Chain A
Amino acid sequence: MSIGIGNRGNVQGLTTHKLGCIRGERAVFAGLDLALNPGRAMLLSGPNGSGKSSLLRVLAGLLPAAGGRVDWEGTDVTEDRDGHRARVAYIGHADPLKPSLTAAENLAFWAKLYGFDPDIEPALFQFAIEPLADVPVRYLSAGQRRRVTLARLALGQNSQAGPTLWLLDEPATGLDPGAVSMLANTILAHLSNEGVAIISTHGGRLDALLNDHADRFDMHEFAA
């Protein structure tokens, strides 16, 4: 049935072909081709409104693509939406935490819902939030909330068959240098495990820490 890409079995990681996105009747980007091999990260850069967040949401399957396709290991991800959802870990701008629940309760809920290892202690330690485990999230600072959100990545990492495709939308916002290092170490461990990560950034410490393992991608070239 399928023609064109040939040798499908050998295609690895994530590729996009002529990907486009339209938001509110305005084309955000068009004709976007990118390829990312397992074990590599991609740092998305570009000015505000250049479509970094939209691209991450399209790759996660949260937004429909307006033309083009996203392939994982050579197969269109829309052919197996459930399979694609299972391989995605998405961190957006907002912290999906409930203020009245404690940090541990918030994390435990996501772990159980996603079928991850219910033992959340290692994830708490990984982002140094174990002293805050029993504090309701409403009393946490913005940076502490961000750490709790990011600890979700560690939950998947510590589980069997956790997500392989990490889509992180400015994950280091509000983090202190120590926490950025914890995040970078988490991402590097993921990459060394043949994982893939796409991270939108505006430069800074995280960029520098990931530099040796990351390709760079400027959204500016694909502005529609």
Chain B
Amino acid sequence: MIGLCLLIRRDLRLAFRGGTDAMMGVIFFVLAAILFPFGVGPDAAILPRIGGGIIWVVALLAALLSLERMFAGDHEDGSLDLLYLSPVSLGQLALAKAIAHWLTSGVLLLIASPVLALLYNLPSSAFLPLVATMALGTPTLSLVGAIGAALTLGARRGGVLLALLLLPLYIPVLIFDAGAIDGAIAGRDITPQLMILGGFLLAALALAPWATAAALRQAIE
């Protein structure tokens, strides 16, 4: 537990000192989402209809941007060897990295999303569901993303491979996130979608660190 906190603190400090790197994901998120209305046109009927989906697709790509570096720095400078030799297990390391990634990307997306909802003219009834799906969905992205980040360690063109690996895995999250927002706009009960998203998160929390640890073990060899 102490090891877990130490690792998270270290990653947060590195992200903080790194400055712009950590902010890049959220800046990309806001900019890309702002571009869509210009392309689609200012039709007050279309924007709310596609807004939820677009915000989520862009959030997903923003999370993907910062995933590639999750383990790469520690792999390159030999820190990963030392982390493996430390009393902290690789599973704990994977969990710590995913939590740190979420705190430096998912949380920022979560905070920025209501602003974008305004931009897409989403009805106020959709704001809370949007934030709720973000809160449930983005940690899943970080946890599942850790598996991909660990698998592509040391690979050439790792970024492209990472996207190919992860985007199919992100589709279920995307479907239920966008479905929940659509449902909220139409005035339907969205509890089932939120329950399923919660289920995804719990499954990812239980399984992803374990799979990530196996991938990291391969990378160390």
Q: Could you list which residues of chain A lie within 8 angstroms of chain B, going by C-beta atoms? A: 60-64, 82, 85-86, 88, 90, 92-98, 100-101, 105, 109-110, 112-115
22 A-B contacts (beta carbon < 8 Å): A62-B84, A62-B221, A63-B221, A85-B84, A85-B86, A90-B82, A90-B85, A92-B81, A94-B76, A94-B78, A95-B77, A96-B74, A98-B73, A100-B14, A100-B17, A100-B18, A101-B13, A105-B13, A109-B10, A112-B2, A113-B6, A113-B87
- Give chain A residues whose Cβ lies under 8 Å from the Cβ of B74: 96
Residue of A60, A63, A93, A96 contacting most chain B CB atoms (<10 Å)? A96
Main SS of the interface on chain B?
helix
Contacts of A97 in B (CB 8 A): 77
B19 CB → nearest A CB, Å: 9
Q: Which chain A residues lie closer than 8 Å to B7 at the CB level?
A: 113
**Contact of A114 with B86 at beta-carbon distance under 8 Å, contacts A90-B81, A100-B17, A109-B10 already known:** yes
Contacts of B86 in A (CB 8 A): 85, 113-114
* B88 contacts chain A at the CB level, 8 A cutoff: yes
Starting from the known contacts A62-B84, A90-B81, A113-B88, 10 additional A-B residue pairs (CB-CB under 8 Å) come to: A60-B85, A62-B85, A63-B221, A88-B85, A95-B77, A96-B74, A96-B78, A97-B77, A98-B10, A101-B14
CA distance A95 to B79 in the complex (A): 8
Q: Which 10 A-B residue pairs are closest in the complex by CB-CB distance?
A: A94-B78, A100-B17, A96-B79, A96-B78, A92-B78, A113-B86, A85-B85, A94-B77, A96-B77, A96-B82
**Residue in A93, A112, A113, A115 whose beta carbon sits within 8 Å of that of B78 in the complex:** A93
User: In residues 60-109 of chain B, which contact A (Cβ within 8 Å)?
Assistant: 73-74, 76-79, 81-88
Known contacts: A94-B76, A100-B14. The answer to whether A115 contacts B81 by CB under 8 A is no
Does B3 sit within 8 A of A, measured CB to CB? yes
Q: How far is the CA of A115 from the CA of B87 in the complex (A)?
A: 8
B77 to chain A: which residues have CB within 8 Å? 94-98
Interface on chain A toward B: helix, strand, loop, or mixed SS? loop
Q: Please indicate which of the listed interface residues B7, B74, B76, B82 has the most CB atoms of chain A within 10 Å of its own CB.
A: B82
Q: Kindly state whether residue B220 has any CB partner on chain A within 8 Å.
A: yes
Cα of A112 to Cα of B79 in the assembled complex, Å: 15
* Cα distance, A119 to B18, chains bound together (Å): 27
- Residues of B1-47 at the interface with A, using a CB-CB cut-off of 8 Å, are 2-3, 6-7, 10, 13-14, 17-18
Chain A residue contacts of B87, Cβ below 8 A? 82, 85-86, 113-115
Q: How far is the CA of A100 from the CA of B84 in the complex (A)?
A: 22
The minimal Cβ–Cβ distance linking A146 to chain B, given in whole angstroms, is: 12
In the complex, the answer to whether A110 meets B14 with C-beta atoms within 8 Å is no
Question: Which residue from chain B places its CB closest to the CB of A114 in the assembled complex?
Answer: B86
The residue that A64 contacts in the complex, of B6, B78, B82, B221, with Cβ under 8 A, is: B221
- Give Cα distance in the complex from A93 to B87, angstroms: 22
Q: Bound state CA distance, A162 and B209, in angstroms?
A: 29
Check B14 against A98 for contact (C-beta < 8 Å).
yes
Contacts of B82 in A (CB 8 A): 90, 96, 110
Assembly CA distance A112 to B87 (angstroms): 11
Given the complex of chains A and B, what is the CA–CA distance between A60 and B85 in angstroms?
Answer: 8
Q: Given the complex of chains A and B, what is the CA–CA distance between A86 and B176 in angstroms?
A: 45
Proximity string of chain B (51-62) to chain A, C-beta cutoff 8 Å, 1 when within and 0 when not? 000000000000
Given the known interface contacts A62-B220, A100-B14, the answer about A109 and B81 at a Cβ–Cβ threshold of 8 Å is no
**Residues in B neighbouring A82, C-beta threshold 8 A:** 87
Q: In the bound complex, what is the Cα–Cα distance between A115 and B2 (angstroms)?
A: 10
Q: Which residues in A have their C-beta under 8 angstroms from that of B10?
A: 98, 109
Residues of B near A96 (CB, < 8 A) are 74, 77-79, 81-82
